Structure 1
Amino acid sequence: MDVETLRTFVVVAETGQFQAAADELWISQQAVSKRIATLERNLEVTLLVRTTRGSRPTLDGQVFLPHAKNVLTALDHAEQAVRPGSRPLRVDVLHRRIAPAQAVYRFYRSCPEMDLDVVTLSEENADQAAQAVLGGSVDASFRALPASQVPAGVSAERLLDVPLELLVGPGHPMADAAWVRSADLAGHRIWIPGIRPGSEWDAFYRALSGALGLNIDALGPHFGDEALMDALADTDSLATLVGSGDRYLWPGNHDLRRIPLREPTPVYPHVLLSRSGDQHPRLAALRDHLLTTRPRTPDDTWTPDWMAH
């Protein structure tokens, strides 16, 4: 069934005049008559009858009219949903506690009229997230993706470098340090539960362990961030790593300490992935916000040499 034919029937039924419908639709009265005849022939019913005062729907026309309106309304909504700039900017932030989510939130706070849809493709690795961007299920994703694995059609720009910090309980030997040399962590157990084999996090921390000689493990079940904070508070031998822009909360009596790492400062580089060319109009505003608000990173940073730039 032709949409314009359906629209023509609705306009004739509402105006009560073939000529009025022709004027509104910017077509000839003959074209209106042909469209109505075609629709009635396809439905095998008479929808309109002409009178001395114009045209009015038949009983079948009255039954058909609300359904025709609903179809046209649904089509209008569908077109509006995909019109450039009309639908929300859809961004994958991997985890809602970490720096990319906080950066997107600050972006939203700077322009609350911006329509955003923040998602977490938590089961996807970096390659799969890039494919989600390429396929259009998300407009952008923050990931640590090797340059060699960025697929054709996807742009990768390093816009959010996050220095890592040591997080320890009050009894840890380094709890009172103003800052810690990364090399001094050798021999200390750094527990980061929940690292999935084959994930970008797994690749990053393997590279970090090898480069700086750190003892990083993900042994044991991961009962969530709150359980990790409890474990840190209850022991003097356990530490973990968090991003300086990550947002973690714990009870005040835990007295956990965030300690900067230096010489070198391990940096997790969040790369903004987006489709090349066909981009959401609001993505440029997000990119500009990240460029103008990102904090200055230390000069002595470390990142894996395979990270996209």
Structure 2
Amino acid sequence: MCQQAVSRRIATLEHDLGVRLFDRTGRGVGLTIDGQAFLPHARALLQAEARAAASVRPGTRALRVDVVGRRVSPAGLLRDFHRAHPEIRLDVVTLFDADQATTALRNGSIDAAFRAVPLPGSRLPEGIESVPVYDEALELCVGPAHAWADASAVTPAQLAGQRIWMPGNTPGTEWAAYYDAFADAFGVTIDAVGPNFGVEALLDAIADSDSLATFFGERTPLVWPAGHDLRRIPLREPTPVYPHSLLWCTGNPHPALAALRSYLAAVRPTRDDAATWVPTWARSNRSGATTERDR
């Protein structure tokens, strides 16, 4: 900015404030007493403006990642990444569904998202990349009076005809599509009826029932009162896995995105595809996944 423009701005500011900020003499320009009082506040405002701009400018702001929910396993993966790389600043967001996530990726408001993709009859938008990062095994959760309460494991075939209560399964979401495919493959009824009062209310109902059951991922952290005596039972032969993938936008300039991708690739556990189940629509995003049980 040229000196004349600076002088005009200072003159305008002095006029607005009703005080002189500078003494102008033949020997130069110096701060008045009012100018000395004003200067630290002006500096603080400029620094706040710079921090505000940096907080939203890609490449300088924190790495912003969508994890669907803070109880699900991607949130745990992101916590592990933060422990391994505490120098990388993170912002964790929870967008509702894959459409919101891909829109946010494309407009640059987030840098990455954990999702199960692609959905049936759909494909990822142009410019969105994805890679599998974690196949999370499902567990059956039942109360102490349930017939399977003492089982060490249950097969999906044993669930045929059973009612699995999942009030959080919202139609049109990727997780509802996953459980619909599971229900079709193994003859299970996924019941989403009833208001979703959250995990605690769901666990209360499961604990008091001899017939209700629900699914959780193996890395979902759950805490319940001791009197509930709930059981988390692995599913085997095959093991249904929920296919978490990391999505990002091609050309995203954030310098920490590559570090997140490298970390997830290094810690991704291997599973025997012959012993696992995923829906057909999820297999197209999995490297080497060749198994599904269709009925």
Q: What TM bracket, shorter-length normalisation?
A: 0.7 to 0.9
Matched to 2:177, the amino acid is: A
2:59·2:253 contact (CA, 8 Å) conserved in 1?
no
Equivalent position SS for 2:91:
strand
Distance 1:37 1:231 in 2: 72
Whether 2:230 is the aligned partner of 1:265: answer no
Change (3 A) 1:52 1:42: closer
Q: How many angstroms does 1:76 deviate by?
A: 3.0
Question: Alignment partner of 1:138: what SS?
Answer: coil
Tell me the percent identity: 53
SS of the residue corresponding to residue 255 of structure 2 reads coil
Q: Does residue 123 of structure 2 align to residue 126 of structure 1?
A: no
Give the 3 Å change call, closer, same or farther, for CA 69–205 of structure 1 in structure 2: same
Tell me the equivalent position of 2:293. Answer: none
Q: Do structure 1's residue 185 and structure 2's residue 159 form an aligned pair?
A: yes
Q: Is the partner of 2:83 in helix, strand or coil?
A: helix
Moved more, 138-147 or 40-49: 40-49
Q: More displaced, 185-194 or 55-64? A: 55-64
Could you tell me how far apart the structure 1 residues matched to 2:153 and 2:6 are?
79
Could you tell me whether the CA contact under 8 Å between 2:58 and 2:253 is conserved in 1? Answer: no
CA distance in 1, matches of 2:197, 2:104: 28
- Which 10-residue stretch deviates more, 196-205 or 41-50? 41-50
Number of aligned residue pairs: give it: 277
The SS at the match of 2:280 is coil
1:139 equivalent in alignment to 2:111: yes
2:206 is aligned with 1:206: no
**Aligned twin of 2:288:** none
For residues 11-62 of structure 1, the C-alpha deviation after alignment (integer angstroms, 9 at most, x for no partner) is xxxxxxxxxxxxxxxxxxxx64x44455468779697564243223579978
Q: CA deviation at 1:74?
A: 4.3
**1:80 to partner: Cα distance:** 3.6
Matched, 1:111 2:88: no
Could you say what the CA RMSD is over the residues aligned between the two structures, in angstroms?
2.8
1:279/1:253 CA distance change after superposition, 3 Å = farther
Q: Which amino acid aligns with 2:106?
A: L
SS at 1:158 equivalent: strand
Which amino acid in structure 2 is aligned with residue 135 of structure 1? N
Unaligned runs of 5+ in 1: 5-30
The one-character-per-residue Cα deviations of 1:189-240 (angstroms, maximum 9, x if unpaired) are 2111121121212211111111111111112222221121122221221111
* TM superposition score normalised by structure 2: 0.82
Segment drifting more, 299-308 vs 73-82: 73-82
1:252: how far off? 2.2
Question: CA–CA distance in 2 between the matches of 1:42 and 1:82?
Answer: 30
| Separation in 1, partners of 2:101, 2:213 | 30
Equivalence for 1:303? 278
Residues 207/82 of structure 1: CA separation in 2 closer, same or farther (3 Å cut): same
- Map 1:50-89 to 2 at 5 A: 50-56=24-30, 69=43, 72-82=46-56, 85-89=59-63
Give, as a single letter, the amino acid of the residue that structure 1 aligns with 2:280.
D
Given that residues 92 and 118 in structure 1 are in contact (C-alpha distance below 8 angstroms), is that contact kept between their aligned partners in structure 2? Answer: yes
Query: Which structure: larger Rg?
Result: 1
- Contact in 1 for aligned 2:60/2:254 (Cα 8 Å): no
Q: Which residue of 2 aligns with 1:152?
A: 126
